[in-house]
Structure 1
Amino acid sequence: MANQHSRIVERALTRLKLRQLRLLIAVGQHGNIQSAAADLGISQPAATKMIQELELDFEVKLFRRTNRGAIPTVFGESLIRHGKLIFAQVSHAAQELDDLNQGNSGRVVIGTLLAASSSLLPQAIETVLRTRPNVMVKVIEGTNDALMPALLSGEIDMVLGRLPNLRHRSKIVQEKLFSEKVLAVAGPQHPLAGKTGVTFDDLKPSTWILPPVETTLRRQVDQYFIKQDQYAPAIAIESVSFLTNRALLRAHEFIGLMPEHVPSLDLENGLLTRIDWDVPFGAGSVGVSHRGAESLSPASAAFLEALRTAAEAF
């Protein structure tokens, strides 16, 4: 087995071409060799030969030919994933060289979840820019289901927010920064604003603003609702946009569920109010996920340290 591994590595180092990986990824995207070949501007016979050479070099079958086209095998899916990571790293290298050529000192791409975007992330950005004023920072907001694959493929450098449970953990490094709970919030005009000892029965008639179904928090909400005699809100809005949620809460008698640091400034300024209900779910760890220290550029490493410093105040 060791000899086979060494043999394949040697072939990859001496014979593998980026053009072959581009074709491999394209076949995976299009589902057939003909469309992938057209996309790359090569003939179908040439493309077929390139795939065959890859299969010989790696000693595995990469695609199954069916009447529906070329379907990646588990080996094909694995090599496609690694190919995407290689191209992402090449793209990042080119971007970093361009940044340095233009007088910038690196680039960091951050994926962020709602739990971290309102306070922790801005503080970390301010810290980095004080010491590295020419760093280019790109922020992409989304859910773990969208951000984690982008992290694994190298499209983003790190994900900041609620740490996912178990999924992806074997492939990435996770670092807890602080713990937080979930709050029920509303606009100051809500009938329950200012009332003490609010119970779930008081909340049942409400229209809810809930996180999307693909989030961990939403799964916890749904489990809790099921335990409350199969409770189902008459109206529920799904939204991860804080600006949208804030506007809806202030204009209507809605109840929103948010990690406690998200609405903190609005609660202090009276734009929103906390409902006096001790949310019995949703407490969790907020942290940062990345592909390991060796994957971090100097700018990304500096940003990670800035996150750690900012989190000390939470």
Structure 2
Amino acid sequence: MRHNLRHLRVFVAVAETGSVSRAGELRHVSQPAVTQAIARVERIAGQPLFERTTQGLFLNKAGEVLLTRVRRALEFLDPALVDISPRLQVTATTAQLQSLIAMREAENFTLAARRLDLAQATVHRAITQLEQEARRPLFERTAYGMIGTKAAQNLALAARLAFAELAQAEADLGEIRATEAGRIVIGAMPLSRAYALPQAIVRFRAAGRRLPIDVVEGTYDDLLAGLRRGEIDFLIGALREPAPIGDVDQRVLFHDTIVLVAGADHPLTTQQTISTADLARYPWVVAPKGAPIRGHFEAIFTQEGLAVPGQLVESRSLILMRELLNASDHLGCISRLQAEAEISHGLMNPLAYSLVDTERPIGLTLRKGWLPTAAQAEFLDMLGTGTD
């Protein structure tokens, strides 16, 4: 949101006390300043947030929604600010924290300024102001760029999560006005893009939802990092066992198995019985190291004391696998549901090789404690409905 952090802190004080004068005392500002701050917050929210009575100011439904999000944002932000300097709770601005985030990620003033569409001097001044308040450097100059200290990295992450909560508030407030705001950002692994996700998107649009849906592709590690920074709302795909880190939750939607596939003219497609030694003679298209399906692939050979084939193409691309299989004697190891459409259209052929113990959970990975908007919750419900 475009809110001023100091104004949001005043809003919280008024919400908790029901009094302009008491809020002013708590935040050490004048009553007119409190009134102006509340007016600004309501203007940005696009609706009144308080019922004004002779007994005081009381939150309406929109105010309660915003208060929930602001409190969650400050729960992320304040410990990281205090860790650097307690005064930053009072002095830190949205612009300064945005500059800190950009510098932490770009590690260069010029690139950070370009990312924010600001003058380099503006970003430099914002970082200097934070460092003056902290009374210590927040970035260290190295041969590789300006590297954030541990405290700066923690604050940048906390600020990202806080700003994500405030962005969620825009969508929450839009629901009250019966308008759509915000977007849904999904980290999608290969199976979900071919199977569960299209069905859910169709249902979502059929329900009349029009807000944008961003489908982000990438490696699992990159998607997980984006989730933990608040850039991605949730991941959908093969779950990791155990969960990769303690600040995420995993939710199973359904289970999938693995299938071995070949092109239409491959000699193994006509064999009724295929041995593991037969498989070992051919080159393969497989998922990269670290992917759950890769572990199942390697186990096919190691469980029988054979070496894993050395001629491997590592890729998550279904299209690349399909084209290699039909242009050569490569074999593929892939999710059965992901390959379902290709198999049904005769573009891939499943091999008559018995696989055991290849079932794997497919589902959602979410930030622990994440609070979805109404639209996000509706979409998650449709993912579950679409995969029963």
TM-score by length of 1: 0.80
Residue pair 1:33, 1:48 contacting (<8 A) in 2 also: no
Q: Does 1:55 align with 2:134?
A: yes
Work out which of the residue numbers 324, 327, 331 in structure 2 matches 1:248. Answer: 324
CA gap of 1:220–1:80, structure 2 versus 1, over 3 A, is farther
Residue pair 2:273, 2:352 contacting (<8 A) in 1 also: yes
Corresponding residue pairs, total: 306
Q: 1:224-303, aligned counterparts within 5 Å?
A: 225=301, 231-279=307-355, 282-292=358-368, 294-303=370-379
Residue pair 2:258, 2:293 contacting (<8 A) in 1 also: no
The code of the aligned residue for 1:144 comes to Y
Q: Does 1:151 align with 2:230?
A: no
CA gap of 1:165–1:14, structure 2 versus 1, over 3 A, is same
Residue pair 2:109, 2:120 contacting (<8 A) in 1 also: no
* 1:7-37 deviation digits (Å, cap 9, x = unpaired): 9397454322122212322332344668757
Q: Output the CA distance in 1 between the equivalents of 2:130 and 2:153.
A: 14
Gaps of 5+ in 2: 1-77
Q: Show the counterpart of 2:161.
A: 85
TM-score by length of 2: 0.67
% identical aligned pairs: 26
What is the Cα deviation at residue 117 of structure 1?
1.9
What is the Cα deviation at residue 166 of structure 1?
3.5
Gaps of 5+ in 1: none
Q: Does 1:304 align with 2:383?
A: no
Q: Show the counterpart of 2:280.
A: 204
Q: Does 1:76 align with 2:155?
A: no
What is the Cα deviation at residue 104 of structure 1?
4.8
Q: Does 1:41 align with 2:120?
A: yes
Residue pair 2:80, 2:154 contacting (<8 A) in 1 also: no
* 1:37-82 deviation digits (Å, cap 9, x = unpaired): 79643268735531324525xxx86444567664323222211222
Q: Show the counterpart of 2:67.
A: none
Find the structure with the greater CA-based Rg. 2
Q: Output the CA distance in 1 between the equivalents of 2:249 and 2:265.
A: 44
SS of match in other structure, 2:337: coil
Q: Does 1:8 align with 2:85?
A: no
Q: Output the CA distance in 1 between the equivalents of 2:176 and 2:232.
A: 19
Q: Show the counterpart of 1:107.
A: 183
Q: Show the counterpart of 1:28.
A: 104
CA gap of 1:226–1:135, structure 2 versus 1, over 3 A, is same
Q: Output the CA distance in 1 between the equivalents of 2:203 and 2:176.
A: 20
What is the Cα deviation at residue 92 of structure 1?
6.2
* 1:86-135 deviation digits (Å, cap 9, x = unpaired): 44555666789899999656521211111222121111112222213423
The code of the aligned residue for 2:120 comes to G
SS of match in other structure, 1:286: strand
Q: Output the CA distance in 2 between the equivalents of 1:272 and 1:26.
A: 45
Residue pair 1:23, 1:40 contacting (<8 A) in 2 also: no
Residue pair 1:188, 1:272 contacting (<8 A) in 2 also: yes
Instruction: With a CA cutoff of 8 Å and minimum separation of 6, indicate the structure with the bigger relative contact order.
Output: 1
Residue pair 2:243, 2:249 contacting (<8 A) in 1 also: no
Q: Show the counterpart of 1:127.
A: 203
Work out which of the residue numbers 161, 171, 195 in structure 1 matches 2:271. Answer: 195
What is the Cα deviation at residue 141 of structure 1?
2.5
SS of match in other structure, 2:338: coil
